[in-house]
């Protein structure tokens, strides 16, 4: 039996580093990060829902748009960091880097969804979180990494999505 999958969106609480503010169309705010200075955002911290099945992997998705006109190809390096903890314990910090290949013909303001995998594995391995875990995430462009070769402005949509399996409503974990 396949367990239901659900998503939780974590919005931006504040920016990190140097970012510009822009809008796609009339209503999608974005954070512009140049190829020169690191920047990104922190999410609002959230308590994971009681329905989060901690025995299964959880995944993290980011959404971006091209902020540069003209055909270019290269890689963008993203730094994913998150902190998790429970009441009565010291929070734990985890971080990793994701290299995202940018398509050669990525046009200005075109949206791109990126799976933020940790070395090809889920961002949140099974059994990582305890019940009632508080989670906060920082997502940045690491422009100081020499493998960040894309010379365009990256537009962050100011949220990330956590995708996870929900507990069976009849018996708890299935």
Distance CA 80, CA 42 (A): 10
Residue pLDDT, tens place only, 123-148:
999 999 999 999 999 999 999 999 99
For 41-83, the pLDDT digits (tens) are 999 999 999 989 989 999 999 999 988 766 578 999 999 999 9
For residue 103, what pLDDT band results from cuts at 50, 70 and 90?
A: confident
Q: Which CATH architecture has domain 6-165?
A: Sandwich (2.60)
pLDDT tens profile 8-36: 999 999 999 999 999 998 999 999 999 99
Percent of the chain with pLDDT over 70: 93
User: Smallest Cα–Cα separation from 173: which of 60, 57, 59, 51?
Assistant: 51
Delimit the domains of the chain by residue range.
Answer: 6-165
Determine the pLDDT at residue 3: 58
Residue with token string 């046009």 = 107
Which band of pLDDT confidence, cut at 50, 70 and 90, is reported for residue 105?
Answer: confident
| Beta strands 134-141; 74-85: pairing state | antiparallel
Predicted local distance difference test score (pLDDT) of residue 171: 56
- 102: nearest Cα among 120, 71, 75: 75
98 vs 69 pLDDT, higher one? 98
Most confident of the following: 75-79, 106-110, 166-170: 75-79
């Amino acid at each position: 039996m396949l367990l239901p999958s659900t998503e939780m969106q974590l919005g931006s609480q504040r920016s990190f580093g140097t970012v510009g503010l822009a809008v796609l169309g009339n209503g999608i705010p974005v954070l512009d990060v140049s190829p020169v200075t690191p920047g990104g955002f922190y999410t609002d911290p959230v308590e994971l829902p009681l329905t989060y099945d901690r025995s299964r992997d959880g995944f993290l998705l980011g959404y971006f748009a091209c902020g540069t006109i003209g055909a270019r190809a290269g890689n963008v390096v993203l730094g994913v960091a998150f902190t998790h903890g429970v009441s009565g314990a010291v929070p734990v910090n985890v971080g990793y880097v994701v290299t995202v290949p940018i398509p050669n013909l990525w046009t200005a303001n075109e949206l791109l969804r990126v799976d933020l995998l940790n070395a090809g594995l889920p961002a949140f391995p099974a059994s990582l979180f305890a019940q009632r875990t508080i989670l906060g995430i920082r997502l940045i462009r690491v422009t100081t990494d020499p493998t960040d070769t894309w010379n365009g402005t990256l537009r962050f949509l100011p949220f990330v999505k956590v995708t996870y399996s929900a507990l069976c409503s009849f018996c708890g974990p299935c």
